[in-house]
């Protein structure tokens, strides 16, 4: 079962310490970054919503996932202490934040507010 759940994470953009600036910190870009970890149950619960939004907003916003275990530099630079944490960026600046599991509609509402 765990294997199946982790496979669902392959569709959203994989954001890393090395590609974060290239993908998120750009002018005229709206991004939603899910800070998560493989071992985190709530992260796996919200993962499908993030995946759906990445498909629905392809070409309109960068929707990605950053594994905090594999990419600690970016996570620590934003003071991520609890996961899942989702940060919303506009023009490279954090404009909203969501900590914990919420319905997909709530994530979409926050995303749409910055498009």
Residue among 43, 46, 63, 107 flagged as catalytic: 43
Whether 43 is a known active-site residue: answer yes
Whether the CB-CB separation of 92 and 23 falls below 8 Å is answered with no
Task: For residue 9, indicate whether it is catalytic.
Answer: no
Q: What CA–CA distances, in Å, run from 93 to 29, 59, 72, 96, 114?
A: 10, 19, 19, 9, 11
**Given 40, 46, 53, 62, which residue is catalytic?**
40
Catalytic residues: 40, 43
């Amino acid at each position: 079962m765990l294997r199946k759940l982790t496979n669902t994470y392959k569709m959203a953009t994989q954001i890393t310490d090395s590609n974060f600036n290239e993908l998120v910190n750009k002018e005229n870009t709206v991004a939603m970054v899910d800070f998560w970890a493989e071992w985190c149950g709530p992260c796996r619960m919200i993962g499908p919503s993030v995946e759906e939004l990445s498909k629905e907003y392809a070409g309109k916003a960068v929707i990605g996932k950053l594994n905090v275990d594999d990419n600690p530099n970016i996570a620590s630079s934003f003071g991520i202490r609890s996961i899942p944490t989702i940060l919303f960026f506009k023009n490279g600046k954090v404009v909203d934040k969501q900590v914990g599991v919420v319905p997909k509609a709530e994530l979409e509402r926050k995303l749409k507010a910055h498009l």
